[in-house]
Amino acid sequence: QVQLQQSGGELAKPGSSVKISCKASGYTFSNYYISWIKQTTGQGLEYTGYINTGSGGTNYNEKFKGKATLTVDKSSSTAFMQLSSLTPDDSAVYYCAREGAISFDYWGQGVMVTVSS
Amino acid sequence: DIQMTQSPSFLSTSVGDRVTINCKASQNINRYLNWYQQRLGEAPKLLIHNANSLQTGIPSRFSGSGSGTDFTFTISSLQPEDVATYFCLQHNSWPRTFGGGTKLELK
C-alpha cells in the first residue's frame, strides 16, 4: 500500500536549519511529484512547493523561496525539505503529499518543527 | 494566487444531519478541487477529487459538486466518526491553495 513515512519531530534554535524527510513506498517513486505543505493554527495550510522526483526539478511558492529547499534521493525513494534561517514563524507541522493523476491523494503523517531558543 | 474562501468555518451538528460546506475560488478553477477530512492529530485524508469523484474506499455519504468558482461538499447523514475538520484544495494552478477549513462538532 502507498505510504509516505516522515521523519521525527524537530526542536531547533532560531537561525538554524532543519532537514526533514519523506520516504515513499508502495508505488513507483519517480512517477509522482512530492509536494510539501505547512500547517499552522493561525495560517492554516500553505503550499511550500513540489519536487519532480524523476528529474529533480522544483517549483516553489514565492512565499517560501529562500526558506525551503527541496531535494530527492531516488535510490532510497526519499524526498527532503530543508528549512533555513529558522524563526518562530516557521514552527508548524509540515506534511509531504504525493501529486500525480490525483493531486495530493496520499499524505505523510506530518512532522512538527518547533523553533525556540 | 487563487484565494479559496470556505464557509462556514465552524458547524455544530447532530448525528444524522445533512452537512453542507462551500468553497469559493477567486477565479475559475474548472473542476480541479479536492475535499479532505482531517481528524485531530492526523494527516488529511482525501475524500473527493476533481470536484465530484469519490476517492476509493470512501463511504457514499460523502459527495461533492460544482465547477468554475463555486463548490459544495455534502455529508448526507452525519456519523459520529465524521467529527473532524474539512478543507478544500484547488489544484488548477500553482501555488496550490487551500480553504480555511470547517470544523464539525456534535451538539
pLDDT value of residue A102: 92
Facing residue for A45 by CB, picked from B42, B91, B98: B98
Facing residue for B43 by CB, picked from A47, A49, A110: A110
- DSSP E strands in chain A: the ranges are 3-6, 10-12, 18-25, 33-40, 44-52, 58-60, 68-73, 78-83, 92-99, 103-107, 111-115
Q: Is the pLDDT of residue A115 over 90?
A: yes
Q: pLDDT-based confidence at B87, cuts 50/70/90?
A: very high
Q: What is the pLDDT of residues A52-85, one digit of tens each?
A: 999 999 999 999 999 999 999 999 999 999 999 9
Judging contacts by C-beta atoms under 8 Å, the chain A residues touching residue B42 are 109
From CA A102, how far away is CA B1, in angstroms rounded? 21
CB atoms B97 and A109 under 8 Å:
no
From CA A23, how far away is CA A96, in angstroms rounded? 9
Q: What is the pLDDT of residues B12-40, one digit of tens each?
A: 999 999 999 999 999 999 999 999 999 99
Q: pLDDT-based confidence at B73, cuts 50/70/90?
A: very high
Facing residue for A47 by CB, picked from B49, B55, B96: B96
Distance of CA B20 to the CA centre of its chain: 9
Cβ proximity of B68 and B2 under 8 Å: no
Q: Share the mean pLDDT of chain B.
A: 97
Q: Is the pLDDT of residue A107 over 90?
A: yes
- Count chain A–chain B contacts defined by CB atoms under 8 A: 54
3-state class (DSSP) for residue A56: coil
Measured in angstroms, the CA of B18 and the nearest CA of chain A are apart by: 25
pLDDT cut 90: percent of chain A above it: 97
From CA A33, how far away is CA B46, in angstroms rounded? 17
Q: Share the mean pLDDT of chain A.
A: 96
**Whether B32 contacts chain A with CB within 8 A:** yes
Residue A65 DSSP code: B
CB atoms A44 and B94 under 8 Å:
no
pLDDT value of residue A42: 84
Q: Is the pLDDT of residue B101 over 90?
A: yes
Judging contacts by C-beta atoms under 8 Å, the chain B residues touching residue A61 are 94-95
pLDDT value of residue A27: 97
CB atoms A108 and B43 under 8 Å:
yes
CB atoms A61 and B95 under 8 Å:
yes
Measured in angstroms, the CA of B16 and the nearest CA of chain A are apart by: 28
Q: What is the pLDDT of residues A16-47, one digit of tens each?
A: 999 999 999 999 999 999 999 999 988 899 99
In whole angstroms, how far apart are CA B39 and each of A65, B6, B85? 30, 18, 6
**Whether B40 contacts chain A with CB within 8 A:** no
3-state class (DSSP) for residue B94: coil
Q: Is the pLDDT of residue A96 over 90?
A: yes
**Whether A93 contacts chain B with CB within 8 A:** no
pLDDT value of residue A43: 86
